[in-house]
Amino acid sequence: MAEDVREWLVAGALLESEGRLLLVRNQRRGGYEDWSTPGGVIDDEDGSVLDGLTREVEEETGLRVTGWEGPLYEVEAVAPDLGWFMRCEVHRAVDYEGDVRVADPDGIVVEAAFVAANDAAAVLASCHPWVAEPLADWLADPWGPQERRRYCYEVRGVTRAALEVVRTDFVDPAASRQRARDRAASD
C-alpha cells in the first residue's frame, strides 16, 4: 500500500463568544461532512504553529486572532494502513476581532457557527474520535494551558466506513511514525 508515511502538523483553535464555541462545517473528499474547530495544516511558510493557526482561522472564518494561549491539548494519530501520521496542537484564542464569514480558499469549510456546549455533542457525532473526544472533554470541563493534555490514537483500516480507531498511549512520536513506516513497508 503506502510506500511513504505522510506527516502533518495541524493546529486547531478554540474561539468562544458568550458561552459558545466556534465550529466549522467541513465538506470532505468523498462527499461526507463533519464539524471541527477552525484550523488546519501548518505550512512550512507559516513560520510558527501560531502564525499558521492565525492564517487558517482568518481564511476559514474571517476572524483575526490577536492573542493565543496554549496549547491546551495535543492529539497524535497514526494510521499505518493509510500511511500517515498527524500531530495537532489546539490553542485557545484569548483576543480576536472581525465578523464571521466563510471564505475558505481550499473550499473545505462551508459554514461557521458559534455552538452552545450543550449542542456540541450532536454536532461532534460526525467527527473522527481524535477530533471529538478531546474537544468533548474540554467542553465538559475546560482546562488551561498549565493542565495541557495529550490524546493518542491508532487508526486501522483503509476506508472511512471501516476505520477502527483505538485510543493509545504513544510514548514516543518517533516510534509511532516508525510503526506506520514499518506497516507501509510490509504491505
Q: Is residue 19 part of a domain?
A: yes
For the beta carbon of residue 16, count every other beta carbon within 10 angstroms.
15
pLDDT score for 179 = 60
Domain count, the chain: 1
Q: Is residue 187 part of a domain?
A: no
What is the pLDDT of the chain when averaged over all its residues? 89
Residue 172: band (very low, low, confident or very high) from pLDDT cuts 50, 70, 90: low
Q: Is residue 120 part of a domain?
A: yes
Segment 75-113, tens digit of pLDDT: 999 999 999 999 999 999 999 999 999 988 989 999 999
Identity (one letter) of the amino acid at 168?
Answer: T
Q: What residue numbers bound the domain in which 118 lies? A: 9-73+89-151
Peptide bond into 71 cis (omega under 30): yes
The answer to whether 13 and 39 are in contact (CB under 8 A) is yes
- 144: domain CATH number is 3.90.79.10
CA distances from 15 to 20, 68, 149, 179 (A): 8, 10, 18, 35
Q: Is residue 4 part of a domain?
A: no
Segment 148-165, tens digit of pLDDT: 999 999 999 988 888 999
Q: Is residue 1 part of a domain?
A: no
Distance between CA 52 and CA 49 in Å, rounded? Answer: 5
The C-alpha angle with vertex 177 and arms to 175 and 13, in degrees rounded to 5, equals 110
Q: Are strands 16-17 and 20-27 parallel, antiparallel or unpaired?
A: antiparallel
- What is the arithmetic mean of pLDDT over 20-27? 94
Residue 171: band (very low, low, confident or very high) from pLDDT cuts 50, 70, 90: low
Record the cell numbers describing residue 71, joined without a space: 496549547
Q: Is residue 141 part of a domain?
A: yes
Share of the chain above pLDDT 90, in %: 71
Q: Is residue 172 part of a domain?
A: no
pLDDT score for 161 = 81
